[in-house]
Structure 1
Amino acid sequence: MGYHPQYLDAFQKTQQFLLRGDGPLPHEYRHYIAIMASARHYCNYIVKLHTCEFIMQGGDPEWLEGIDKCPKKLQDLNELNMLMAHQPWKIKDSHIKDLTSGQRKWTLSEVMHAVVLLAHFHSLSSFVYGCGVSPELDDSDGGYTFYRSKEDGSTLFDPSSSSDPEVNGVENSNEEKPIKVLMESMRQLHDNPEASVEEKVKAFESIDPAFDKSPSPPQSGAHEERQRKEQNAEFMKKFIDNPGFAYEDFSQRDRSNNPTTFRAQDFSWDEQGFSLTNRLYPDLGQYLDEKFKIATTLTYYTMGNNLDVDTTAFRRAIWNYIHCMFGIRHDDYDYREVNVLLERSLKQYIKTITCYPEKVTRNDFKVFMKDFKQSEKVHVNLMLLEARLQGELLYALNAITRFMT
């Protein structure tokens, strides 16, 4: 995040407020919720970090033996944690009612605190995997890190592989839309006539993120990487309820039981989410709002080595594509732009990091936006983090609103 100091400052303020500021939840609860949320994606980096923080805050070491050892009140978050991480469109006001009634009653302020913590660490897990810092080099063999090349660009370096295309100059076989072509596509969008409401809805429904992932070519250390992931998964399962529950593609959902779309115009962050968050947890809305605004507006007007580039359309396509995977539709957006600006390998990367980041591979790093600067790749991952965070919150906050009314 240090590539983008303005965002890093807002992120650190928000995380500091959530974990150490005034709030309804005890500090050891906050770090345990961070563990529960990160374990849904088997994010070893965050789980280990907050395991240490949990102990430092006076948490009971017995809780770390498994989810069944923590207080029943925290166990009551299991279903909400599961739904928010993988299928947030299934969250109902009844889930909020269950938490706020009975012997282990949660207050609405506590629910708000927990909901934001869950969404924060789900999306942060995506960012961690998206930037290749899980596992870290000093954590286990085969970790990833960044190094600066002589050409003044940063590249991802996999020390366990001697065939890294960035290191040896090997051209990757995966074809990607050149930056010049992408820039021309963005320019042409300004000349296109505005789509009708019907055309926008049809374009949204035609975006099918359910594509088959092309098999990665054989690579050095693949067997060891698979073994590490399997061992890591076994360790994480003690913090997870129903580990088999996962993301479902939008086109494969049971539409008889779930709404086909969540219209952002009916319940948006700006109009409803911001005020509700501030009402139940004073000041938190401001912290989140600042982060969202920076993530959506941040630009240096560059694409690779090209200067003075208006990247608005490209950034908007990424943000709305992520929301599309969660069934969220923005009525004022022409979704035809997504297919024009986001080529297949980029969509594949976005879907993997957003929906099941634990499945990311070395090859995903190598082919992801290879003509872009490393800071630009991190920028995309920041948008993935914030768009996913906002998407989860919209569903959870809408459920809280329905419960309150």
Structure 2
Amino acid sequence: MGYHPRYLDSFLKTQHYLLHMDGPLPFDCRHYIAIMKLLKISEWSWSLAELVHAVVLLAHCHALASFVFGCGCEQEEGPVGRGLLKSSPPGNQSCRAPVQSLDSCMELDSLRERVQRIHVEMEGREEMRPLPDREEGEGVWDGNTDGEVTGAANLACYLQDPDFGYQDFARRDEEQTQVFRVQDYSWEDHGFSLVNRLYSDIGHLLDEKFRMVDGLQSSAMAKRQGCEPSVFKRGIWNYIHCMFGIRYDDYDYAEVNHLLERMLKVYIKTVTCYPEKTNPEMFDRFWKQFKHSEKVHVNLLILEARMQAELLYALQAITQYMVS
């Protein structure tokens, strides 16, 4: 984020406010929510203000995960699984020493094949049979000599629904498909006022972030596509919202295919919906003709678009509860 200092300042202010400033939730509860995989609201008795605070925290952390993995920050493997994050060194790719075993064209072809395989895997995900349950006692040996074994890296025991994950909106049954229309519930007209009413000032901070990322200047990618930066950014934003069933009646979605080449769309969908499938190679070697700051800009758009999409669904549900 340091490539875009104004946005970084806005992001840090929002995160600090969520975790450390006055708010409905106690401080220890905020950090607990931030690391949760699934929030069991039904078992907790919360006020609407506390619920909004929790929803914003969850959306913030979910979107941040996409940004972290999308920007090539990998987790080093340790004795109990993934550990500390290790980011790729900053700078323009052209300043780095070339990989000796492959020239740049072969690297790009190899990466494209990898991304295509991920895309095929995502398309066939719903058709795959679930893996059998682990046998009792199976796990990772942790050095105990009493015969007890533990699955230190297996988080399934902490999840209410371990198989829960993103489902391709376009592949759902038509009878179950319900489009979220922005003209019926939008951030500007509905979400902003609701969060500000129940959780003072957070609406202004979130709105500042949304506007800040939209105002960032990075025209190289748009120039390559032969369009204005604002048109290119809106195409990315609306494409991400479309993945979650959010539609804008005043937008021609045929433009997405003209503005975003297929490999770019596959990358965006992977980072948005399956961030755990990304790795530093995808960020480091893809789009070699662009600077790191421009690729980070795309990942910032992914972060904010995903966060707003999650907030729209949650805040609409809270609004419906309040008026029922």
**TM-score category (smaller protein):** 0.7 to 0.9
Q: In the alignment, what sits opposite 1:30?
A: 30
Q: Distance in 1 between matches of 2:152 and 2:261?
A: 31
Q: Which of 235, 241, 248 pairs up with 2:160? A: 241
Q: Distance in 2 between matches of 1:394 and 1:149?
A: 36
Q: In the alignment, what sits opposite 2:40?
A: 76
Instruction: Please state whether the residue corresponding to 2:289 is helix, strand or coil.
Output: coil
Output the amino acid matched with 2:12.
Q
Cα-to-partner distance string for 1:222-277 (whole Å, 9 max, x where unaligned): xxxxxxxx999934435432121121111221332341x10011100000000001
Instruction: Please state whether the residue corresponding to 1:25 is helix, strand or coil.
Output: coil
Q: In the alignment, what sits opposite 1:173?
A: 109
Output the amino acid matched with 1:212.
V
Match status 1:350 vs 2:258: no
Instruction: Give yes or no for contact 1:304–1:372 (8 Å, CA) kept in 2.
Output: no
Output the amino acid matched with 1:123.
A
Instruction: Give yes or no for contact 1:304–1:373 (8 Å, CA) kept in 2.
Output: no
Instruction: Please state whether the residue corresponding to 2:235 is helix, strand or coil.
Output: helix
Q: Distance in 1 between matches of 2:315 and 2:28?
A: 24
Output the amino acid matched with 1:355.
C
The verdict on how the C-alpha distance between 1:263 and 1:136 changes in structure 2, with shifts beyond 3 A counting, is same
Output the amino acid matched with 1:354.
T
Larger RCO (CA under 8 A, 6+ residues apart): 2
The verdict on how the C-alpha distance between 1:235 and 1:387 changes in structure 2, with shifts beyond 3 A counting, is same
Cα-to-partner distance string for 1:79-119 (whole Å, 9 max, x where unaligned): xxxxxxxxxxxxxxxxxxx47xxxx4210000000000010
Q: Report the RMSD for the aligned CA atoms in angstroms.
A: 3.5
Instruction: Give yes or no for contact 2:220–2:290 (8 Å, CA) kept in 1.
Output: no
Q: In the alignment, what sits opposite 1:19?
A: 19
TM-score by length of 1: 0.63
Q: Which of 264, 271, 277 pairs up with 2:182? A: 264
TM-score by length of 2: 0.78
Counting only pairs closer than 5 Å after superposition, residues 116-195 of structure 1 correspond to structure 2 as 116-135=56-75, 143-148=86-91, 151=94, 163=101, 170-173=106-109
Unaligned runs of 5+ in 1: 41-74, 78-97, 177-209, 215-229
How far apart are 1:15 and its partner, in Å? 0.1
| Count, aligned residues | 289
Counting only pairs closer than 5 Å after superposition, residues 307-318 of structure 1 correspond to structure 2 as 310-318=228-236
Q: Distance in 1 between matches of 2:196 and 2:257?
A: 36
Cα-to-partner distance string for 1:351-370 (whole Å, 9 max, x where unaligned): 11111111114543355323
Q: Which of 335-344 and 308-317 deviates more? A: 308-317
Q: In the alignment, what sits opposite 1:386?
A: 304
